[in-house]
C-alpha cells in the first residue's frame, strides 16, 4: 500500500454564526469567525489517496489526474467564494473547517480511478489550525 498526497490552495470567505443563539453567545463561541460582515481564510488542502503501485508506471495514479479532480470538484467551487452563500454542497452547513473537510471528502470520492481509495482530507484554515478527516 502506498499513499500519495496532492497539496492545493484556495481562498474563501465565511462566517460562523448560529442563528439560534444570541450575538453574545456567537461571539463567545466563534470569536472573530462570527464577524457579521464576513472574513477570509487562505486554506491549505492536502488530499491523500492510497492503493497499490502500478507496475507499468511505477505510480499509484497520475498525479495530474488527481489534481484535476480536486480542481474540478473542489477548488473551482470554493476558491474566491463565500462558503455560506455560494457553494451548493455546503448549503445548510456551518462552514467550519471540520464541515468543509467532510464535504470535500464526498466531492472527491466518486471521481477517483478504480483501485485508488481516498485516505485523508487535511484542511488547514490558518497555518496553525487544521483538521484531518479519514471518512469516518
Ligand atoms: Ni473563520
Tell me the catalytic residues: 33, 80, 125
73 DSSP 8-state letter: I
State mean pLDDT over 78-82. 98
Q: Which residue range is the domain that position 129 belongs to?
A: 2-133
129 Cα to the center of ligand 1, angstroms: 11
Please report the pLDDT score of residue 36 as a whole number: 87
38 Cα to the center of ligand 1, angstroms: 8
Please report the pLDDT score of residue 41 as a whole number: 96
115 Cα to the center of ligand 1, angstroms: 36
State mean pLDDT over 65-83. 98
31 Cα to the center of ligand 1, angstroms: 9
pLDDT greater than 90 at residue 25: yes
Residues in Cβ contact with 116 at an 8 Å cutoff, skipping those fewer than 6 apart: 49, 50, 51, 60, 61
Alpha helices in the chain (DSSP H): 23-30, 63-70, 76-78, 97-108
Place of cell 470535500: 104
Residue 70, domain CATH: 3.30.479.10
Distance CA 94, CA 17 (A): 7
State mean pLDDT over 3-14. 98
State mean pLDDT over 63-69. 97
State mean pLDDT over 81-94. 96
pTM for the model stands at 0.95
State mean pLDDT over 119-131. 97
Contact 42, 84 (CB under 8 A): no
23 Cα to the center of ligand 1, angstroms: 16
For the chain, the domain total comes to: 1
Amino acid at each position: 500500500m502506498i499513499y500519495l498526497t496532492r497539496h492545493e490552495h484556495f481562498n474563501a470567505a465565511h462566517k460562523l454564526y448560529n442563528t439560534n443563539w444570541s450575538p453574545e453567545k456567537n461571539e463567545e463561541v466563534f470569536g472573530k469567525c462570527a464577524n457579521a460582515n464576513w472574513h477570509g481564510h487562505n486554506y491549505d488542502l492536502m488530499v491523500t489517496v492510497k492503493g497499490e503501485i502500478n507496475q507499468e508506471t511505477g505510480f499509484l495514479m497520475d498525479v495530474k489526474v488527481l489534481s484535476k479532480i480536486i480542481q474540478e470538484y473542489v477548488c473551482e467551487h470554493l476558491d474566491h467564494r463565500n462558503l455560506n452563500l455560494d457553494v451548493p454542497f455546503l448549503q445548510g452547513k456551518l462552514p467550519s473547517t471540520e464541515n468543509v473537510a467532510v464535504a470535500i471528502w464526498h466531492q472527491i470520492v466518486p471521481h477517483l480511478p478504480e483501485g485508488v481509495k481516498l485516505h485523508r482530507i487535511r484542511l488547514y484554515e490558518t497555518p496553525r489550525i487544521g483538521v484531518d478527516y479519514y471518512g469516518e
